[in-house]
Every structure is written in structure tokens, then in C-alpha cells.
Amino acid sequence: MWKLHDQPWCDLKTLSVNREPARAHFYPYESEQAARDGNHDDSTSVTCLNGDWRFRWLPSPLLADERVVREPADEAHGYALMRVPLNWQFAGYGRMHYTDEAFPFPVNPPYIPAENETGVYKRTFLYMPVPDKRLFIRFEGVESAFSLYINDVFAGYSQGSRMPSEFDITALIRAGDNTLCALVYQYCDGTYLEDQDMWWLGGIIRDVLLLERPNDYLADLVCDADYEPDAGEGILTVRAIAAGTADVSLILYAPNGKAACNAVCAADGEPVQLRVPGALAWNAEQPYLYRLTVILKRDGRVLEATQQFIGFRRVQIHEGTLLLNGRRIMMRGVNRHEFDPRNGRAVSREQTEQELLFIKRSGMNAVRTSHYPNIPAFYDICDRLGLYVMDECDLETHGFEMEGDATRLANDPKWQAAYVERAERMVARDRNHACVVMWSLGNESGYGLNIAAMYRRIKAMDPGRPVHYEPDRHCLTADVSSSMYTSVGLLHERDLELSPKRPHILCEFAHAMGNGPGALAQYIQTIEQSRRIQGYFIWELKDHGVYTLRDDGTVCYRYGGEFEEDYSSGNFCIDGLLAADGTPSPGYDEYRHLIAPVQFLESSGNRDIVRLLNRWNFAALEDTELRGELKRDGQTVYTWVQKLPPVPPGGIYDAPLPDNIRMVQPDNALWTRTISCHLTRAAVWSKPGHELGSFHQVLQPYAVKVSPPAGPMRVEHRNDALLLTSQRCSMAVSLIDGSLYHYVCDGMLRMQKGPALNVFRPYIDNDRKLSGMWQEQHLHSMRMTVYTAEVTTHKGRTRVVITGAYAPNARNWRARVTITYQLDSKGRVQVRFAGDFTGDKGSEIPAELPKLGTKSYLPKALDRVTYCGLGPDENYCDRREAARMGIYRREAAGLQVPYECPQDNGNRTGVLFSALTDSSGEGVVFSTLTPRDMSIRAQDDQDLWHAKHACDVPERDFYVLHFDMRNSGLGSGSCGPNHLAQHAVHTRPFDFSFAIAPIRAGDITAQAREAQGYLLGLEEEETT
């Protein structure tokens, strides 16, 4: 009788067939010298089978029978070329499906429906058997399970997508051409343990290697590199396990290439110790690596050799503090998925190194492998660059939480072997790496007896390293406590907890989805001052968008719901500090600034010095210099370079500054100073000149001088508007919506319409928890109704006062608004909005709004922007620490940020004026005495709100200038806390004003300040 349960991909008892025991990752070499050279691509013992295979897609494993294994892999049988490694969905086969939590099949463990995509992979390879040699095949990663056939004979089965599977195929090999067939099943019972927040994919995703090895080969190698901080001694304990009998010689080479010590050990797993007095210890700042060469010999003849890089360090928790080499450390890190927008989870060594270099250069010192072990090269690179790794098991059962049964598998004894094996395989492969400072049992899988069993197995294999597991809230079997997206307030409370006395890790602490995250400054200040918190990892490094070239030549990166899925988690996979193409986001700039290894401190207003802190735990600031730049009204007037003396780790240094960088002229200009610290030498991760931190300050703001009105304008009442004219200017105040229309000066149209009151923004991803309420209140439909209009002339100007209501369609709450325009014959206009919020019986006035401000429509010819405010890049009220006050000159199009999922973007805070001009220097300026928010886009808000991708946003024939009282904060509300209360825009009484004035060819800054002077004169008059 046929039973689904008998299929290996539905049988809990079948985790593998004929798979070799898990071992440390190393490559075999034919000689000691080859092992020392360490280039496995040149090893005669290693053959890489990556490249073009023959491939056939089937809708079910039940169709992949023995006949399919034996059939020719030609076009007549439906085969085509398939690149390995690659997920087959990225070659156009099967179905793309993205969910954060939900399983892609009925939840009925351990059963997987027989409607289960299956890939038939075939290729031939030439091999001539050699006496006393064995041949192994190693798959570094296959999603999610596969059966292997060699020369049409079953060779083995394995599951577990992100861990290697190795098989001894010596008995199945023949001289000459050999056929290899792998039947790859997208889903298996193990998929219930692999419900990570990512695309559901299938295929061979990592390297496939043939390993030719002697009959007596090195089966495993365990290297425990300890460090005694007080004595400065490195202690390397080695256990070599060989298949057969052989002698093992060990030679340890120091970082300078000289032999440090050597030993001979048995090949039966008995430990041998190598001691290195005066060892150079490994840490993230000084990643000193020794090279251990291991030579397997018999009768003096080399059978096989290999190498392992060794970093001497001691990780321990002492009295509730995480120590590395006896010192308290802080892990400032990032969560990183393996993903390539063109290849899926088939990530190359080159991409991995590029991303890790980016992480290192950003000032981060730690990576969490969320949520599975990475490719082997990842750990080699982290060892070399100096990055602390939280190595996470390939385990997540998040979908059961959706079913209200988060611990269903965690507490089921029948699943214990599957749980424990995943931990065992991870530790066996990665434990020789210095970079791995902490194991993680997985992610979002509840807590139960199987989690405890994993912990015990890890501790038996590797007692030294601490173990992390966030859902173990009571630290029953975790050595560190952990939490996700904890609010700033709760972080303060957690720091006061006395039990359990453990270091605390924020394995996910801010959500970098879309335009975000916000409040990083408040988070990081709290964390860095904490007694308990010793690690924080932002979510996450990179968007998971799928590269798509459209018929019209545009490129977009698609997300969930765009592949005809029945259900999906939408754009929740577009959540990185980097876009899918690797472009850094403004959120990245903020994070980098806040975690920089060199921080500049307040020096009690003393401009003669700059005080800096070396935040490194082990390395002194050596071979560094300070660079200074003094600017007047945004123009550089002086630069300066000063070499720094060594600053010890954790040390503070007061650097004296020369007169030229701290003295400003007694003129009415904006003087600013930027000072940064740079390396003067190359590091393993950077070139000379790399910036380690920066500091910016305003030395002198400019003073606004009163500019009196130049005379009133003529007023003519038309049916729907008040027409105002002077010799040089004309405009109309609408009696329909209260806005200014057709603002013309010297015959040039400078504003088509505006400023109109506005509380809507194209919702950002982090508005997720609020946008539903805002949409219910129809904020996108808000409009003005004019009740009254009054015109008076007073002291050289014309005053127009509009009263009315600003309200949404189909709702019975509103803002009672008074708009006041005070205009003079030069075309200068003071605009003032004042009002409060009210509603009729039964109305629900929203407690807060996305923003409160104005928007104006300007001709597209005004494509050059000069503004005074925080920049040069996008910033918001809760993401502005990396911004610098100055006067910036940009093209209008360059002020926008094309987030893949369109949303509010391009905001600048602290803006005192914003001028838009054409190529001749003619245009319009918006000026204020109180810093405002500003953004300029070539689209209306609804264009962004309705578009699915950046390339879908239309380019309009006008610019929209948002000049706002305030744009609310960003927060992390797409997954974590909303913006902080101090960054909200509340529905309270409001009163704000600014000036609009024409700009003529000439000094834009002077004219912008003159407009401020017009505003100042009116406000001073009002106060007196």
C-alpha cells in the first residue's frame, strides 16, 4: 500500500540516508605547501561542479520516479540548461511566493502536499578512479531536500536547506563519464522548521564539490583556540579524527608567516595542546589570525593536508557581563539574510565579501546570520575582517504562532531529533571560526523541550561559547537574555532588572523598512549607557526585491503579491538599509553616524578644542588625523588637517584646534564647522582616508534684519477670487479654497497654486500601525471651505483674512482655520495659518496626524533649489543626527529618494528658506523665522500613494513644494514601535507663518533673508 508517510520528504524518521557525519568545513589538499597556499580552486583534490547543468521541472516528487532518473537529459525529455547554484524560480520555473509567517501549504505536520515543486538536476563528470582514493560529493546547500543518484543508482538523501550534505560515492563511480542526478524537492517535513521571513524557493543554492581523498582521510578537525588575557598566552586545543590510521602533524604559523609551534597528535580524536606565549589575540578591531596546517601522513608520506585559520580569543560571561579577552564588549550590528535580486539565495563569495566590507566600513562590528548558517566563505571573511558573528541555527516555525500554537513543534518529542540535528550540524561546521562568538538556537519558534535539547547538545559540543535564543524569555536554556523591538522606555526598565543577571541582546531593535527607521539616536543613547545591554542588531541589511526588467526598459524590484500568489506579506521583504541593488538608504547614513567608532563629545562650549572618544574596546586610535572644514554660507573658506596622537581604547582626547578653524568673521553670515577623524593607513577592510566619525556645529547663525513693506497692492473682487496687483506682481486669492493662484512677478509665473493646508503624506511603511486609522479618517481627501474673506490696507501692505473649515470628505470633524495674507507691492507675502480641531456629535478626531503644513505647485522650469537647513540628504525629526546645518544648492530632482515602494521621501528639517529658480536665477523663495520641514517632488502625494514601484511614479509637469510646520517622525512601526510621542504631530491648536517672495537673478541667499526680514517686521509689529 502506498503511503505519503513513506516518502522521505514526509517522514520525520528520515533526516538523511547515507549522509556523512557533520564535520568542520575545510578543503583537502595534496601537499603541505598547497594547504599553506590555501587556494582550493587550484587543489587537485577539489573539483567544483558549479556551472550549467541539465534541468527539468516537475510539479510533484511523485513524478520523479526511476524512469526520470534514467532518462536522457535532452530537450526531447523536457530538459534545458540550468545554472548551479541558483533558485529555479529565478530561471523562470515554478512559482514565486513571499510570506513573513504563513506557510505556503496546509499546516499538517509532518505532511507536505504531493503538489510540491521538484527539480531534476543532471550532469556528467569525468573521473578516473585512483587506487587507495575515495571520492566524496559535497552539496553546501540545497532547498529543501534532495535524493542523489550516481550512475542511476541511489546514493543518498538529505534535508536541511542551509547546511552541507556530503556523500561517499566511491563504490558507485566508474572510469570515464559518470552521471549525477539530484531530485530536489522544494518542500519537505523539514520545511516546517524553515519558516523564515523570506521567499519560498527551491533549488541547489550553494557550491557542489567533488572531493578526492585518501582511504585514510581527515574526517573531522576540532580547533579550540583559547586566550589567557592575564598571561597573554594562546592555547590551541586540537582534536583530529581520521578514517583509518595515520599520523597527524600540526604546524601553527603566526600572522607574520613564521612558524610559532608544532606538534604531532593521534588521529583518534585525543586532544593535543599548542601553547603560544605572547600570542596576538583576535578581536573585531585587531583580527590577528594564525594559520594551522594539518598534515596527514603514513610512513612519512603525505596523504592529505589542510589548513584552518585560528584566532586566539576567550568568550565568557562573568558576573552577568559578556567579556571577550577579559574586556566588556558592545556588539553594534546588523541582521543579514543571504539574498541576490537576480539569483535568490544563491549568493556568491564575491557578493558576500562586498556586503561584509560594507558592514565593516560602516562601523558595525557584528552580524547575526538571520536566520540560518551562511555560506562557508562568510565565516572566513568575518575572521579576516574582524566581525563578531551570532551564528543562528536554520530554525523558525513562525507560522504556528499565526495558528495560536507557537510551541507545537518545540514541545513535540517526535521532532526532537530534527531540532537537535540542526544545531549539531551548525556547530560541527562552524566552531573553528574565531568570529563566531555566540550561537543562536533559531528565531521565533516558541520555547519547549526540543529547544532545551538543542541547548544541551550545543553545550556538549562547545561548552565555551554563550547561547542565545530570543523566545526563551526566562533564560531557561539561554546564556543571554534577548528581546526584539523593545521600546526606549522598556529598555530603561530592563536595565534596572536584577534577575536574571545576564547580558542582554537586542537581536532586532529597529526596522529599516522603506523610509526609516526613526529614533535611532534615542535608542542608541539608551543602549550605550546601559549596564546590561551588550549588543544591538538592526533589521536588516538589504531589501529582498526581485530584479525585473520590464518591456519598456525600466527596472523594478518586485515583492510579495506580484506573482499571482493567493496570499502574501506584500512589500515586507523590502526592509533593508540597502536597496536591492545595493544603494544605501538615508537610514543607513544615520545608523553609521551613530555607531561610528570615533564619537565627538560636548566640550562645554570651548571652541578651542574638540573632544573625541575612541569607542573601540581593544585598538588604540593610531595613524589617524583630524580634518576640518570651515564654511561661510555653505561655501568652504578654510580646510585643515591635524595628525592625532594615539588614543587608547575607551580613551578621550581633547584635540586643540587652530585659530583658522574656530574663528569666524564678524559678518552677517552662517558659519559652520565640520570635523572628522580619518585613518591615514590602509586596514584590511579599508583604504587610507577612511572616515571613523564626524562632528558638525554652527559657529555663528546669521541675523535677520527687518525689511519694511513696500506699499499695498490693488484689490479687485471677482466672482470666485480676489485679484491683487501691483506694478510688478499679480496673484489671486481663491474664495473657493483660500489658496493663492497664478503668482506672477515681472511677467514670470513663479507659483501656480498654493500654499494649501495639508495634513496628508503618502504613508511610509513605518506608518503601518497608524495609516489604517488615517485612511478611515479620509485624510487624503481633506479640503478647504471658505466662510469669509476680509480685505484691509495697513501700513504699506494689503491684508487678506480668510476664515473657513479644513475637513475630510464623509467625516464630521474639521479644523477651524484662519488664513492671513499680508502682501506688499514687491510681491512679498506673509502667509499665516492658525486654527484648532473640532467635531460634531459622534465625531472621532484623530489624536495625531502624519504632518501639518502646506503644499504649493510651482512651474517645472524652477528646477534649481537653494535652501538653508539640515542636509545634504533626506532627514526627519527623528532621523537627523547625521545631517548638517548649511546652505545647499541642488537640482530639484536630486532631493527625492526613490524608495522601491513609493512613499513620503526627501524631507529636510530645520529649513529657514527654500528657493526654487530657473537657469537664469529667477524664481520664488519660501522663508521662515522658525525652522520648518521642506520637501520638493515632481509628483503629487497621490501619485506616490497609489504607485507600486519607484518606476511607476509619474513625472509631472510641475514641482510640489511641501513647506510644513512639522512632518511626523518615522519610528519603526512597520514591525516595532511607532515614532516617539515627542515626534508626533498632535491635533492641537496651531499657528505658523512664513513668507513667499520673488527671486530675481543675483544673490539668492540675500534675497531669501530679505524675505525673512519682511516676515520679521510684521511679527515685531504684531507683538508691539
Identify which of 72, 179, 165, 181 has the alpha carbon closest to the alpha carbon of residue 124: 179
b/e for 386-396, b at 16 or more Cβ within 10 A? bbbbbbbbbbb
The residue type found at 726 is S
The answer to whether residues 471 and 354 touch, using CB atoms and an 8 Å cutoff, is no
Consecutive H or E run containing 33 = helix 32-37
Identify which of 265, 138, 109, 115 has the alpha carbon closest to the alpha carbon of residue 208: 138
Using N-to-C axis directions, what is the helix angle for 520-528 and 488-496, rounded to 10°? 10
The answer to whether residues 95 and 117 touch, using CB atoms and an 8 Å cutoff, is yes
What is the distance between the alpha carbons of residues 485 and 972, in angstroms, rounded to a whole number?
8
What is the distance between the alpha carbons of residues 575 and 579, in angstroms, rounded to a whole number?
8
720, β-bridge pairs:
none
What is the distance between the alpha carbons of residues 373 and 577, in angstroms, rounded to a whole number?
21
Burial of 604 (0-12, 13-18, 19+ CB in 10 A): exposed
Which one from 508, 874, 922, 1010 is the annotated catalytic residue? 508
b/e for 452-491, b at 16 or more Cβ within 10 A? bbbbebbbebbeebbbbbbbbeeeebbbbbbbbbbbeeeb
Residues in the chain: 1024
Which one from 143, 304, 338, 444 is the annotated catalytic residue? 444
Phi, then psi, of 506 in degrees rounded to 5: -95, 90
Identify which of 194, 196, 139, 132 has the alpha carbon closest to the alpha carbon of residue 164: 139
Is residue 194 annotated as part of the catalytic site, yes or no? no
Write out the three cell numbers for 814: 474639521
Three-state DSSP state, 244:
coil
User: Do β-strands 366-368 and 331-335 pair in parallel, antiparallel, or remain unpaired?
Assistant: parallel
Chain center to CA of 716:
57
Is residue 590 annotated as part of the catalytic site, yes or no? no
What is the distance between the alpha carbons of residues 717 and 724, in angstroms, rounded to a whole number?
9
The answer to whether residues 26 and 138 touch, using CB atoms and an 8 Å cutoff, is no
Q: What is the dihedral of CA 1004, 1010, 1011, 1016, to 10 degrees?
A: 150
Lay out the sheet containing 652-656: strands in order across: 598-601, 609-614, 652-656
Task: Please list, in sequence order, all residues whose beta carbon lies within 8 angstroms of the beta carbon of residue 7, skipping any fewer than 6 positions away.
Answer: 61
Three-class SS string for 272-302?
EEEEECCCCCECCCCECCEEEEEEEEECCEE
Write out the three cell numbers for 44: 587537485
Write out the three cell numbers for 157: 538523501
Task: Please list, in sequence order, all residues whose beta carbon lies within 8 angstroms of the beta carbon of residue 493, skipping any fewer than 6 positions away.
Answer: none
Catalytic residues: 444, 508
